[in-house]
Structure 1
Amino acid sequence: MTTKLLHLHIKNGVANITFNNPPVNVLSGSLMKSLKEVLHGLSNDVKVIVFDSANPDFFIAHVDINILDEQDVLNELLQTAPEGLNIFQAVGEMLRNLPQVTIVKLKGIARGGGAEFVTAADMSFASLEKGKLAQCEALMGIIPGGGATQYLPAKMTRGRALEIMLGADLFDAATAAQYGWINRALPDAEIDAFVDQLAQNIAALEEGIISTTKKVLAAGFKAENDGWAALAFTPRTAEIMKKAMENGAQTVAGELEIESLLRSIK
């Protein structure tokens, strides 16, 4: 599927969404509307969503400076935004509340609302050579308004979050990974294969594991127990455990490669 502003490709339970809003992939009202429509149209067969960019230099540059020219689109987005959220915060919360796992593959620059999109995603991996992030709103006389003030302190110390927002500098991928802003930084030549394999591994998990894990994160011990119990005593889980034992689980050789052993069980 291809729209004017993004491309969608689905294979083996993984949806790849590529932003394509020349010249620098600004986060416009139209892009947010297209993204919302595509995400809500995904079937239950999609387990993982990977976001990247058609522009080698920019993932999402920032919010479109001319966004107020799209008043009709903005009004439409505002009417459907959850109560208490602005349209930019609604994008971040939409990502966080999807039943699928969302992964950003960052090969270019993401500033402002683009950086907030990266931070809101479930996981993010950046190219060591090309991936860069900045919350530069302070230089424009404002503060971040798309979730950064809430998301960043959950990923790092308060001091580092303040450094990012008030220092307003462009962070390289290695430093962003050190701070906890992204999952990890990888050589540009390796990032595609790494993210693709991770996405396929997650998409291959048993039904219910992804959505349940996302739902119970930080929701408390009872929610964790309820989610675990709903999955732990099913016939399929019992079958996996039985086959794991038959194939070497709890032996030295089997335990050294337990992840591969479990993934081989059909």
Structure 2
Amino acid sequence: MSTHDWATLRVDVEDGVARIVLDNPPVNVLDATMMRELRTVLGAFRDDASIRVVVFSSADPEFFLAHVDMRIGERMDLLAELAASSPVDDVNVFQAMGELLRHQPQVTIVKLAGKARGGGAEFVAAADMAFAAAETAGIGQIEALMGIVPGGGGTQYLRERVGRNRALEAVLTADLFDAETAAAYGWINRALPADRLDAYVDRVARDIAALPEGVVAAAKHALPAEHLTDGLSRENEAWAARIALPSVQHLMGRGLRDGAQTPVGERDLEALMRGAQRR
């Protein structure tokens, strides 16, 4: 697979490590095209025993994945296609992305230099490991400020990683957590100085890929991703009950008009959306 095959990704494979760079300007939203392309790439990797590690990073130093595209409802044709062809049963299309990642046979690693909110934060939590730049990374479940709750697995992944009390804190404050706090909570593996992040993740990926044949598969068999069927169903019910409300659509529209999904607006999206609520 070459970089030129994809609209929103750059893909490179070398020495057992696949590197996927997320590249969807201006702020790396997780849109329907990116979901389709990630599903295709990860699906192709599943049966490739030569790939042992998949590392995700961003082409944008400010934004890993901003969040799910707030205009994604305009691509109902592609969303319907994704739903019809989902490799995961009994989940919505957003949850399917996280579940595909959680159950990937390779070790999946996120290198988080910038911000990851909403669906971006869910993506980070779905990966096997995540390492972040202490000075620049941030992670948060922004959905409550949009009038909804996480709908792509975030409630369940958070509860599994940080516990119910901290999951409720993240969901209901909708704050952007710095990397050191996220690491202390268990949301990510660790925070590192920004100038050490690339080398550290590269070393971890290469060392894992160089392990004797069968070790990665044995470790993932011994430490499988838990099945979260009931929890994901409850999350989808809660999310679906909110997302179609006229008040929610009005709030999201106001946020877009105020600058959401632009670099300036996304730098402090929490303040932008709190302002949209007050108006």
Q: TM-score range by the shorter chain?
A: 0.7 to 0.9
Q: State how far apart, in whole Å, the 2-side matches of 1:20 and 1:5 are.
A: 5
CA separation in 1, counterparts of 2:221 and 2:114?
30
Distance 1:112 1:219 in 2: 21
Q: Matched residues in 2 for 1:177 and 1:36: separation?
A: 28
* Distance in structure 2 (CA, Å) of the matches to 1:196 and 1:219: 24
- Alignment-derived partner of residue 50 in structure 2: 45
Question: Match for residue 62 of structure 1?
Answer: 67
Q: CA deviation at 1:90?
A: 0.5
Aligned ranges 1:1-266 → 2 under 5 Å:
1-2=2-3, 3-42=6-45, 43-81=48-86, 82-217=88-223
**Distance (Å, rounded) in 1 between the aligned partners of 2:27 and 2:111:** 16
Query: 2-side partners of 1:108 and 1:219: how far apart?
Result: 26
Q: Structure 1 residue 215: deviation in Å?
A: 2.6
**What CA distance in whole angstroms lies between the structure 2 residues aligned with 1:168 and 1:156?**
15
Question: Shift of the alpha carbon at 1:15?
Answer: 0.5
Deviations 1:173-222 (A, max 9, x none): 000001000000000000111000100111011222212322332689xx
1:62-114 deviation per Cα after TM superposition (whole angstroms, max 9, x unaligned): 00011111122111110122221001111111011111000000000000000
Q: Report the 3-state secondary structure (helix = DSSP H, G, I; strand = E; otherwise coil) of the residue aligned with 1:159.
A: helix
**TM (normalized to structure 2)?**
0.77
The C-alpha deviation readout for 1:144-199, integer Å capped at 9, x for no partner, is 00111111111112111110000100100000001000000000000111000100
| CA distance in structure 1 between the aligned counterparts of 2:81 and 2:37, rounded to whole angstroms | 12
- The structure having more radius of gyration, on CA atoms, is 1
Asked if the contact 2:17–2:54 (Cα under 8 Å) also holds between the matched residues in 1, the reply is yes
Task: Point out where structure 1 has 5 or more consecutive residues left out of the alignment.
Answer: 221-266
| Alpha-carbon separation, structure 2, partners of 1:114 and 1:34 | 16
Pairs aligned (count): 220
Distance 2:20 2:89 in 1: 27
Q: Distance in 2 between matches of 1:98 and 1:83?
A: 15
In the alignment, structure 2 segments of 5+ residues that lack a partner are 227-279
The separation in 2 between residues aligned to 1:150 and 1:178, in whole angstroms, is 19
Report the 3-state secondary structure (helix = DSSP H, G, I; strand = E; otherwise coil) of the residue aligned with 1:41: helix
Instruction: Give the Cα–Cα distance (whole angstroms) in 2 for the partners of residues 180 and 37 of structure 1.
Output: 30
Percent of counterpart pairs with the same letter?
Answer: 55
Take 1:146 and 1:161, find their aligned partners in 2: how far apart are those partners? 14
Quote the RMSD (CA, aligned, Å).
1.3
